[in-house]
Structures are given as C-alpha cells and as structure tokens.
Structure 1
Amino acid sequence: MSISDTDASVPSASSVTLGLRANWRQFALLVLINAFVGGMVGIERTVVPLIGSEEFGIASTTLVVSFIVSFGVVKAFANLVSGHLADVWGRKRVLVLGWLVGLPVPFMIMWAPSWGWIVAANALLGVNQGLAWSMTVIMKVDLVGPKSRGLAVGLNEFAGYLAVGVTAFATGYLASEYGLRPVPIYLGVGYAIAGAALSIMFVRDTREHVRAEIGNHPVEAPAIGFREVFALASFRDRNLFAASQAGLVNNLNDGMSWGIFPLFFASFGLGVERIGLLKAVYPATWGILQVATGPLSDRWGRKGLIVAGMWVQATALFLTAATSQFHYWLIGSLLLGLGTAMVYPSLIAAVSDASHPSWRARSLSVYRFWRDLGYAIGALSAGIIADLFGMAWAIGAIAAVTFVSGLIVALLMRGSPSPARSKVIG
C-alpha cells in the first residue's frame, strides 16, 4: 500500500480538514503519547551510566557509553526506514510496532545480569524511539498542514523532552532513596504499557490529511524514489544538507552529555540526586521552551534560530567543561536546554518546508537518520577522548564541533521559505 492508495480505516481526503483547531483531539492524543515516548528515554538519562560504573564496575568511559552507541545506531536506521514504512503501511501501524518493540526494554534493564543486556535493551529502545517518535512528529505535521509546522513540532518535542527531564529527575530521586535498580525503572513499565494501549485503541491514521495537502499544493512534484530523497536530504540540497549536519551535531553533543555528564559530575563527588537534577534541567528547559521557539520559527524563519541555538549550546558546553561548581553546571544545563530548544523544532520545520508533501515523510526520516546517528558518534568519540585526555577535554571538544556546525548553517542555509507553503526541490 502506498500513500496514494485508499484505506477503509481512515476518512477520505475530501472529508478531512487541515489545521490544529480541526484536529485538536488527535493532536492532543499524539502529544500525550510522545510524552510516554520521551519518558522511555528519561529512565536512562541519570541511572544507566551509573549502573555501568557502580554495579558492573566498568572503568572505561568508552565501554560505559556503549549503550548509547547501540541506541543511536539502531535509532538512526529505524528513522531511515520509518518514513517509507509510514507511506507503505500507514502511520498508525508503524507507531504501534514501535511500542510493541519497546515493551521489553524496562524489564531488561531491571533484570539485566550483565552489561550486554543493557546494550541489547538500548538497541530495542532505539527501534522504539525511531519508529514511535518519528510517527508522532510526522502525524502532527500531517494534521496541521503547512502554516503551523513550527508550532506542531514545538508541541511534539515539548511533550517528549519535558517527559525526559521529569523522568530523569524522578529516577535520580528514586535511585537516591531505593538504589539504581529496580524501583526507578518501574516508571518505564508504566510508560510502555500506556503508550502502546493508547496507540492501539485511539490513534487514527493521517495519510488522508497528506492526500488533502497534496491536492491543495501549488506545484505537483515528480515521482522520486527513496534513493533520490536520501541524496537530496543528505548532500544535494544546501538547505537540507545544512539541516542534516546541524541535527547530527546537536545529537552528537546530546549523546556526549547523556553518557559523560553523570560520570563527570560524579567525579567531583556530586550525589546521584543532584546529578539527576542537572540531568533534568537540560531536557526540561529544552522541552518547555519549544512551545515558544516552534511558533517563533514560523514567524521569524528557521535559520537565525538554528545558528544562534548552536552557538548557545557551544557556550553551555564550554562553561560546563571549564568549571567545577554546581551552580555553574546548573547555568550550563539551562543554556544547553535553551540552545537546543532554539534548534530542534526549527530544524524539523526547515526540512518540512523544503520537502514536497508527497515525499516529506521520507525526507524527515533521512534527516532523523543523520540527526540520531549523532548519538552514537557523540558518545563514542567523547568516550575515547575522555579515556585519553579526561572528561573535561571531551566536553570541550564537542563544544568546538557544535560552534563550527552553527557556522556551517550560517554560511550555507538560505533564508527559509515561507512556512505557509512547501518548496519543491528538483
């Protein structure tokens, strides 16, 4: 089944209306579901690196962050196929599949007898995130149409990353009271069951909304295959290349912070509860502020927010690496969240702007492939640098890469097209 096929389980294109107001019930449901998707990652942000170093006695930073490498690589490739599967199978089926794959993850983490089980659990988590998070983004963009993409993405990422932050704080607190396992991971069991149940019972597919948008589009796009979409989103189009490399570097520094920050803070004697607070502030700030930065990108354009956001992130990382006091780390976490909030929805909206609706899901999947490959590259490179030169050097090196990435966007990305229409790239 392709996106142009009819499907009796969804309304016809003539019976649907694009826009947030017309589709607010499904939109709100998808916001809630993505909060559960984000919560699945949040259970790991504080405790899993500490499980590796404290419970399994792993001394190598590179080996500790290996769980992020497995997560990042698998999630990247799950993202890559998610757009094609969404067009062929339907968005809902891919969303449900993502949740079914994610159900065993918290149980594997709770009962893992060796570090290999944690790495395997994160491979499954990568599939869960690559399919489920991709579908919540794609379906929201489908529902609202071209005029409110920044808002749609901002609300989606707000829910997901606020849940990451809240869960990171909650698991840090629970770990300080009850130990690293199993109590903090019980949250993940609830998220997985709730997300799967809501997706199966209440979500409706959105492919008819795409057909309606295609019918209203001012330019009819030629039929192009996945290989051509991959080339466009990866290197052939300067806007999409700029967005893809910035997305990769954004998640490169996020992967570094996920694996290195808890170990870096603990090396100065910081307790797990305060580490949990620092690990919560960054994604919570990132999540909350996207409610504002997403709509602002609709009004101001994407490029300025992306460039400034990358440079704010770099400043935050330099500050963290150069200091050894909690209040400076807290400021760094706030700045890192601010910079990421400026970048994240703007990049997804910029990719959507530059893609025809007939192949938008595939271009988003390619962008998300490169972006989430950054988790693996960031964690692995930071782990190697930390083992060779120390964790502060690892953080500083990633900060420098982040600054250069913002410079590339400033030099290559054209001013964003009007968010009220999509650009066709030939």
Structure 2
Amino acid sequence: MTAGTSRPVRLGLRANAAQFTLLVAVNALVGGMVGQQQTVLPLLAESEFGLTGYTFIFTYVAAFGITKAIANWFAGTFSDRYGRKPVLLAGWLFAVPVPLMLIAAPNWGWVVAANVLLGINQGLTWSTTVVMKIDLVGPRQRGLAMGLNEAAGYGAVAVTSLLAGYLAEQFALRPAPFLLGIAYTALALLLSGAFVKETRGHAHLEAGQHTPRADGRHDHLHAGLTDRQIWAQTSLKEPALSSASQAGLVNNLNFGLSWGLFPLLFATADLPVGQIGLLFALYPGVWGAGQLITGALSDRVGRKHLITAGMTAQAAALALIAASDGFAGWATGTVLLGAGTAMVYPTLLAVIGDVAHPAWRGRAVGVYRVWRDLGYAVGAVLGGIVADLLGLHAAVWAAAAISAGSALVVAGRMYETHRPRKVSA
C-alpha cells in the first residue's frame, strides 16, 4: 500500500507483494543495462579502436564507477528529501542515450561518455529500488528483500551478458548487442512512470514505530543526524556501517576488475566469444541466483559470519582464477566467486538497513553505495596498472590478497546487527 491512497500503509512483503514484484522487475532492467556491454566492450576496444594498454581500456569502467558512486549519494539524499519515485524516473531518463552512443561511437571517448551516463542511471535507479524495497518490507525481512532485489539485478546482468555475447558472435560486436539496452530503457520508463508508486510513507510509518536496541548501541544514531554526521558514521565511525562500506568497496573492486580484465584473460586461451561470454555470465549468474538463498538466510542466521565467509570465498576464488590458464579452472573460479559475492551483497545492504534510522535510511544507503561503487573504479585502475606492469594473472592475485584482508576487517570489527527470529510474511 502507498501513502495518498484510501487504503492504509502497511509494512511487510505480503502486504506489498504487487509493488515489490514490480520493483524487482524494474531492477532486473537496471542490471540488464550493464549486462549489454560487459562482454562486448573490452573486445570492441581491441578490435575496433586498437586499444592495447589495459589501464586505458579500463577507463570506461573507472568512469562508470566514479559517476555511479557520486550518483548514489544524490539518490539517497534526494529520495529522503523529495521522494523515491522522482529519483527513479530521473535515473531512467539518463539511460536513454547510452545504447545509441555505444552503437554510433566513432572513438573511445564516446564509450567513456556513455558510461558516465550509465553510471548516473545505475546510481539513481538501483539505489532507489533498494531503498523502496526496504521501505516496503519493514524490519523483519530486509535480507530477503535485498536478496530478491540483487538477484534480479545481477541475474539480468548474467543473462544479458550471455545474450549480448551470442548476438556479437552471430552478428558482430555492433549494433546488435546494444539493441537490448534500447528495449530495456523503453520498458523501464513505462513501468516506472505508469505503475510504480511512492514508498516514502512506509519509511515514515516505520520511523514512528522505531524502537532503540536494548543494549543502547544505536542511541547515538537518532533521527536528527545531519548529512555530515550520516556520512561520518557510515564511512568511518560506526563499526558495522563502516565495516560494511569497506567490504562493499572490495566486493566491487573485484567486480570492476573482472569487468575489464576477465574477458581479456579468457581470450589468452584463444576461447571463442561465446565461451568468453559464458565464463563471464557464470559469475553474476551464480551471484544473482545465490542471493535468493543468502538474503533470506541472513534473516535467520545473522549477517556478520555470512559476510566474513563470503569475502573469504571471493579471495579463494580469485586465487584459483589467477592460478588457472584454461576453461575448467576459470569456470570453477567464477562459480566460487559468484557464490562468495552472493553471501556478501544482499547481506551488506541488510546491515545498513538494520543500523540506519528510518529517517535517514536513504542517505545511509547512498553513502554505503558511494564507497561500494568506488570499488569499480579502484578495481579497474588497480587491475589495469598491475596488468600493465606484471601481467593479467598478477592483477587477479592482487585482488585475492585484498579480499582476504577485507574478510579479516569484517571478522574483527563488525558486530552482529540482526537478532535472528521467526520470519513471517
């Protein structure tokens, strides 16, 4: 139910099933906008634009990550101030030129510019669908809500990456793969404009029912924090929020590195484009499907240990990929990497929802996602520099070491933010 109707606002997945399902579909389209280009652009860089330096090729990932990170902050701030739906619609308007620019691009600068717009689109739309789903379900089912949201988004990344690779193999690298983006944008604008309803009233309802923790841990995180205080708590001061922010950054460091580097690494074995697309799709595919389990699992067993295990699994997966030089090892590694990411991704968002007060939840999600999505740029730049200096395998080894360090930080600093209890729909 939504504010402004004759029916009362209620919290819970069952009470808001229709809107929740619609938002899952919208977020799948958000993910699909990324998937249309992930397999294709690194290959396009070499074959059509003659780019060979890994750092230069990865500029489009860095541009995407930095822009998305900044857009996340504005998404959180504006959604708390003006409402969720206007931010969602604005984000989709930024997507309109993206596939057209990728189709027409006469040089690599156009690709980078398209990814700046894509970063704005992703930051505004994905952040807003996260906040809207947390609004709808209330405190009991945050993990499940985030699992469904992220499963839809990254499942669509996987499916679209696979489909784009197939279209590129059958028809050429342009324009066929990017026609998917045109269709996704048109459908998303229709759904978001005509059928999605505002959810800020649900957050106001939860804020009115909010009760502090019995142990007093969150007493300093009251409703009246300023934007600067919210930034400081989420980034550095509050142990759970700041631990989640660093783990999110490292998680997306791995994704940003894989986005720019994995297709080039897999191509060293002279694999066809279709197999490269399959290998790349395994990672977000397992990641997406796994979140259907791990998000709900975190509601039952808690958040901290699932995050620690997930970051450890990512470190092991990257080590396996770095040590391999053929399809079998890379396939095993990407599956494990997807499983580790599935443990972490929805659970970190649930931590933010557990700790942040409903009055500034949107801004806390925005700050977390700033740090998390800066990982795209850090991974792209770090991966490019190490690959240029020491080779592709060395870049993956570096990411494995960083992931292991992140797991240690979570294990040592984060506290359990969710007391497991019986979950009802």
CA deviations on 1:317-362 (whole Å, 9 max, x unpaired) are 1111111110111001100110000000010001111111111111
Asked whether the 8 Å contact 1:264–1:391 carries over to 2, the reply is yes
For residue 360 of structure 1, what is the aligned residue in structure 2?
361
Alignment deviations for residues 384-415 of structure 1 (CA, whole Å, 9 cap, x no partner): 00000100000110110011101100000112
Say if 1:353 and 1:419, in contact at 8 Å, map to a contact too.
no
The answer to whether structure 1 residue 297 and structure 2 residue 301 are counterparts is: no
Q: Residue by residue, what CA displacement relative to the aligned partner does 1:77-133 show, whole Å, maximum 9, x if unpaired? A: 000111110011210000000000111101100110100000000000000000000
Deviation sequence 1:143-183 (CA, Å, 0-9, x none): 00000000000000010000000000001111111111001
Aligned equivalents of 2:6 and 2:418: distance in 1?
26
Partner of 1:339: 340
CA distance in 2, matches of 1:403, 1:288: 24
Partner of 1:55: 48
User: Aligned partner of 1:138: which letter?
Assistant: V
Could you say what secondary structure the match of 2:358 adopts? Answer: coil
Deviation, 1:217, is 1.1
* Alignment check: 8 A CA contact 2:223 2:359 kept: no
Aligned ranges for residues 165-314 of structure 1 at < 5 Å? 165-219=158-212, 221-314=222-315
Instruction: Kindly state the Cα deviation for residue 253 of structure 1 after the two structures are TM-superposed.
Output: 0.6
Gaps of at least 5 residues in structure 2 are: 213-218
Asked if the contact 2:314–2:400 (Cα under 8 Å) also holds between the matched residues in 1, the reply is yes
Identity across matched positions, percent: 53
TM-aligned CA deviation for residue 14 of structure 1: 8.4
Superposition deviation, residue 222 in structure 1: 4.0
- SS of 1:18's partner is coil
- The whole-number CA distance in structure 1 between the counterparts of 2:317 and 2:271 is 19
Matched, 1:69 2:69: no
Instruction: Pick the aligned partner of 2:99 from 102, 106, 109.
Output: 106
Partner residue of 2:149 out of 151, 156, 178: 156
Q: Structure 1 counterpart of 2:265, which letter?
A: F
**Stretch deviating more after TM superposition (122-131 or 351-360):** 351-360
Counterpart of 1:4? Answer: none
- d(CA) in 1 for partners of 2:6 and 2:260? 45
Structure 1 partner of 2:21 = 28
**C-alpha deviation, 1:418, in angstroms:** 2.4
- Per the TM alignment, residue 13 of structure 1 is displaced from its structure 2 partner at its CA by 11
What amino acid does structure 2 have at the position aligned with 1:328? G
Q: Structure 1 residues 378 and 13, CA, compared in 2 at 3 Å: closer, same or farther?
A: farther
Structure 1 residue runs without a partner (length 5+): 1-8, 421-426
Q: Distance in 2 between matches of 1:233 and 1:44?
A: 32
For the residue of structure 2 that corresponds to 1:411, the secondary structure is helix
Q: Aligned-residue CA RMSD in angstroms?
A: 1.4
Q: Matches of 1:137 and 1:291 in 2, distance apart? A: 15
> In the alignment, residue 172 of structure 2 is paired with which amino acid?
G
1:15 matched to 2:14: no
Rounded to whole Å, the distance in 1 between the matches of 2:6 and 2:363 is: 20
Would you say the 8 A contact 2:65–2:374 is kept in 1?
yes
Q: How does 1:79-118 map to 2 (within 5 A)?
A: 79-118=72-111
TM-score by length of 1: 0.95
Taking a change above 3 Å as real, the CA distance of residues 13 and 350 of structure 1, as seen in their structure-2 partners, is: farther
Q: Distance in 1 between matches of 2:38 and 2:52?
A: 19
Corresponding residue of 1:418: 419
